[in-house]
Amino acid sequence: MGEDNESCKIGGMINQSPILILGSIGLDTIETKYGKRSELLGGSATYATIAAGLFSPIHLIGIVGSDFPEPAYKLLLKYTANTEDLIIENGPTFRWGGRYHGDGDDRDTLFTELGVFAEFDPVLSEQNRKARWVFLANIHPALQIKVLEQCQGNPLVVTDTMNLWIKTTSRELNEIVRCTNVLLISESELREYTGLDEVRDGAEKILMMGPEKVVIKLGSKGAICIDQNEEIKTGVYPVSKVIDPTGAGDVFGGGFISGLSQGLPIIEAMKRGTALASFCIEDFGMSMLDNITKSDIDERIALLEK
């Protein structure tokens, strides 16, 4: 990370700052109690980009294969301001399959086919190296490190992860956590990563590693942001039918960083993320997210306030 510029401050007023987003872009096959859908546009970066792209210019870093469908590409472009570092490579696109149990709190991964991701070696454009806001959506931490090493603008970094990396690549995960300003992590991942049962204890252990803040995603209980001084909580918008929970965390993250980059207080950024996530889970894939307006989001934020 660069040292010349003063780091972006959470709460600093920088409207319409571009956000660099790294993560997976792929095709998902999803089974829930409401049905099965195949080859849906998915991926951690895709969900985050659509959420954040409703508010901010997104510079997307990722890779898709030559089989990536044209309509999926067009949908992605709708929410992306800069695609200099979005590569189309000969070979198959990343694919992931998941099956949810019951009301959607638990899921099994049925398959993960890396395809062109296996050889992904991101080299950032000059413009993207200067980014001031970076969202490292869930992806192999070695790729997160590779991208961050190229960022010269001393950016504010929000990082997401998953249990797979806690189990398999903890050394690289520790490295990226040390360079992160805000870590997003689920309650169960926090326990697994820190070995501590109490949320506050786990968060404190992470704060000691470097992040200024830890946002713990509590699923149907909302989210809590913990730093050295305070704890800020949000609930959830009550959704009557959770059709497909895939991507809710990524959407929360996209909404959250777009709020921070526009100078919103933490609580407002969390509410934006929460409202967006509530739309995400109301249908399969991007169906709901791609059909909402800012006033739909504001309506849910207002209800969250009540």
- Rounded CA-CA distance 203/213 in Å is 8
- Rounded CA-CA distance 169/45 in Å is 20
Does residue 53 touch ligand AMP according to CB under 6 A?
no
DSSP letter for 82, please: B
Does residue 278 touch ligand AMP according to CB under 6 A?
no
CB of 205 to ligand AMP, least distance (A): 23
The 10 Å Cβ neighbour count of residue 105 is 11
In the bound state with ligand AMP, the residue whose beta carbon lies nearer, of 8 and 288, is: 288
**Contact call for residues 249 and 184 (beta carbons, < 8 A):** yes
Does residue 42 touch ligand AMP according to CB under 6 A?
yes
DSSP letter for 196, please: -
Sole residue written with tokens 């921070």: 260
Q: Which stretch binds ligand AMP (CB under 6 A): 58-66, 79-87, 177-185, 240-248?
A: 240-248
Instruction: Single out the residue of 68, 79, 96, 256 in contact with ligand AMP (rule: CB under 6 A).
Output: 96
Instruction: Single out the residue of 17, 19, 20, 43 in contact with ligand AMP (rule: CB under 6 A).
Output: 43
- Rounded CA-CA distance 16/36 in Å is 38
Does residue 250 touch ligand AMP according to CB under 6 A?
yes
Instruction: Single out the residue of 44, 161, 181, 278 in contact with ligand AMP (rule: CB under 6 A).
Output: 44
Instruction: Single out the residue of 29, 83, 112, 150 in contact with ligand AMP (rule: CB under 6 A).
Output: 112
Report residue 227 as tokens.
């730093």
CB of 253 to ligand AMP, least distance (A): 8
Q: Which stretch binds ligand AMP (CB under 6 A): 22-30, 62-70, 141-149, 205-213?
A: 22-30
Does residue 249 touch ligand AMP according to CB under 6 A?
yes
Report residue 182 as tokens.
């805000």
- Rounded CA-CA distance 178/210 in Å is 5
* Residue nearest to ligand AMP according to CB distances in the complex: 42
Does residue 244 touch ligand AMP according to CB under 6 A?
no
The 10 Å Cβ neighbour count of residue 58 is 27
In the bound state with ligand AMP, the residue whose beta carbon lies nearer, of 139 and 148, is: 139
Between strands 58-65 and 35-42, the pairing is unpaired
Q: Which stretch binds ligand AMP (CB under 6 A): 7-15, 38-46, 190-198, 204-212?
A: 38-46
Count the residues of the shown chain that bind ligand AMP, applying the rule CB under 6 A: 17
**Contact call for residues 117 and 89 (beta carbons, < 8 A):** no
Instruction: Single out the residue of 17, 56, 128, 138 in contact with ligand AMP (rule: CB under 6 A).
Output: 138
Q: Three-class SS of residue 53?
A: helix
In the bound state with ligand AMP, the residue whose beta carbon lies nearer, of 153 and 285, is: 285
The DSSP annotation for 214-262 comes to EEEE-GGG-EEEE-SS-EEEE--PPPS-----TTHHHHHHHHHHHHHHT
**Contact call for residues 104 and 242 (beta carbons, < 8 A):** yes
Within 143-182, the residues that bind ligand AMP by CB under 6 A are: 162, 164
Residue spans of alpha helices (H) in the chain: 44-53, 70-78, 126-129, 141-150, 163-168, 170-178, 187-194, 199-209, 248-261, 266-280, 294-305
Does residue 7 touch ligand AMP according to CB under 6 A?
no
Instruction: Single out the residue of 246, 258, 262, 278 in contact with ligand AMP (rule: CB under 6 A).
Output: 246
Given the rule CB under 6 A, which residues bind ligand AMP? 24, 26, 28, 42-44, 96, 112, 138-139, 162, 164, 246-250
